[in-house]
């Protein structure tokens, strides 16, 4: 049983609050924690229009409570005794979002409120940071928790900047003794998997390619404009969403003071390999066309990302990460080809 639950709370009274719990990564975490049966789950999220289908991400799982984001502060205060931990995945995650005031309110101000409450109420906190904090990767992808190292990063968009700002807030607050008893900020790399259909243009490359590949049409990948990389040879650290849920479950299952930590596989793979894994899962021969990278993003396009996983491994995390061949095959055969493609 999760120490955040079992040692200090009666199981019937234990409650885990998951913000962004109807979203992509959040709903996979709800599925994982709900399957354990040792805690009730409260989901804080916006659901939008029924056509967006975010509600379907939770349709298979018992959820005890639903909380509107603007009512979260009152909910936390009113349920302090029952709450065992907070998993904060809620965010404006679109890298193309241009309303910076909205990003600040959601990704920084709300996150600070949650941090401060967890610190004061002495509740464990796991929150979503992002590999977008690393910018173009010029300084590498090592999750150094030093303030100088984190301050030196230069994100390429407002989303990545907001995540960096909150990471710095957390590290400064922790250094002053104002922190949850156990906390972790997870720098997720390129996540793919079930329950992402509502994300539209922000879906993973796998989800974007699937309809064409399934229809025996050719998929499109960006042509390389860097002589060091072949077309389709651009590299990313692709991580299956179920591995992300594994990490969160593991962190909540012990008193692990992780700090800000990478969540990738530690192995960069090419977009061509990803497309090949998709076609293999469908039992088809790959068909790939290469198109020019749009000029508006070409100068900021990343050709390589790869998480340094030594910090998480050093904490004792021993589970193996799913290679893209197995992850894409599971995603395709169990979800994308299904009439009910939700976890």
Spell out the SS3 assignment of 318-330: CCCCCCHHHHHHH
Extract long-range pairs of 318-322: CB within 8 Å, 24+ residues apart.
319/243, 319/246, 319/250, 321/239, 321/240, 321/243, 321/264, 321/265, 321/266, 321/267, 322/239, 322/240, 322/242, 322/243, 322/265
pLDDT value of residue 51: 64
**Rounded CA gap, 332 and 281, in Å?**
7
Taking the model in full, what pTM does it have?
Answer: 0.94
SS (H, E, C) 191-255: EECCCCHHHHHHCCHHHHHHHHHHCCCCEEEECCCCCCCCCCCCEECEEEHHHHHHHHHHHHCCC
pLDDT value of residue 94: 84
Closest by CA to 187, choosing from 259, 92, 267, is 259
pLDDT value of residue 50: 67
> 24-36 and 241-252 are packed helices; what angle lies between their axes, rounded to 10 degrees?
50
Q: Which residues are catalytic?
A: 159, 199
Q: Tens digits of per-residue pLDDT, 150-181? A: 999 999 999 999 999 999 999 999 999 999 99
Residue whose pair of structure tokens reads 């080809």 in the numeric block: 337
- Indicate the burial class of 70 (C-beta count within 10 angstroms; 0-12, 13-18, 19 or more): exposed
Cβ–Cβ under 8 Å, residues 237 and 268: yes
pLDDT value of residue 8: 39
pLDDT value of residue 6: 43
Question: 306: which DSSP letter?
Answer: -
Q: Tens digits of per-residue pLDDT, 65-84? A: 999 999 999 999 999 999 99
In this structure, what token pair is assigned to residue 177?
A: 């003794």
We find that the CATH architecture of domain 3-192+238-267+304-321 is 3-Layer(aba) Sandwich (3.40)
Q: Is 51 left (phi over 0), alpha (psi -120 to 50) or beta?
A: alpha
Cα four-point dihedral sign 264, 267, 271, 272: negative
- Regions of the chain where pLDDT drops below 70: 1-13, 50-52
* Domains of the chain, residue spans: 3-192+238-267+304-321, 197-235+269-298
Closest by CA to 213, choosing from 51, 328, 343, is 328
Three-class SS state of 149: helix
235: β partners = 270, 304
The sheet that has 183-188: what strands, in order across it?
A: 65-67, 40-44, 15-19, 83-88, 125-130, 183-188, 259-263
pLDDT value of residue 298: 86
**Rounded CA gap, 343 and 335, in Å?**
8
Q: How far is CA 312 from CA 28, 105, 144, in A?
A: 20, 30, 12
């Amino acid at each position: 049983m999760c120490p955040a639950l079992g040692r200090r709370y009666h199981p019937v009274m234990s409650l885990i609050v998951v913000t962004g719990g109807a979203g992509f990564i959040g709903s996979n975490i709800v599925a994982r924690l709900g399957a354990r049966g040792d805690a009730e789950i409260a989901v804080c999220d916006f659901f939008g229009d029924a056509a967006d289908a975010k509600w379907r991400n939770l349709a298979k799982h018992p959820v005890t409570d639903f909380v509107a984001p603007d009512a979260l502060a009152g909910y936390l205060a009113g349920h302090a005794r029952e709450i065992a931990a907070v998993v904060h995945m809620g965010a404006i995650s679109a890298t193309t979002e241009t309303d910076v005031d909205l990003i600040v309110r959601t990704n920084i101000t709300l996150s600070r409120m949650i941090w401060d409450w967890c610190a004061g109420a002495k509740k464990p906190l796991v929150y979503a940071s992002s590999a977008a904090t690393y910018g173009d990767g010029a300084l590498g992808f090592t999750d150094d928790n030093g303030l100088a190292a984190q301050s030196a990063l230069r994100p390429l968009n407002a989303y990545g900047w907001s995540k960096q700002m909150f990471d710095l807030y957390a590290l400064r607050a922790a250094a002053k003794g104002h922190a949850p008893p156990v906390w972790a900020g997870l720098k997720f790399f390129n996540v793919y998997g079930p329950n992402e259909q509502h994300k539209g243009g922000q879906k993973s490359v796998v989800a974007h390619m699937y309809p064409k590949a399934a229809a025996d049409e050719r998929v499109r990948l960006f042509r390389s404009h860097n002589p060091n990389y072949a077309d389709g040879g651009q590299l990313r650290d692709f991580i299956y969403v179920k591995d992300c849920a594994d990490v969160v479950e593991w962190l909540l299952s012990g008193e692990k003071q992780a700090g800000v930590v990478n969540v990738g596989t530690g192995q960069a793979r090419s977009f061509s390999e990803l497309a090949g894994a998709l076609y293999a899962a469908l039992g088809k021969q790959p068909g790939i066309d290469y198109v020019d990278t749009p000029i508006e993003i070409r100068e900021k396009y990343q050709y390589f990302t790869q998480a340094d996983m030594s910090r998480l491994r050093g904490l004792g995390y021993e589970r193996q990460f799913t290679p893209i061949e197995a992850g894409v095959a599971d995603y395709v055969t169990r979800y994308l080809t299904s009439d009910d493609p939700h976890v």
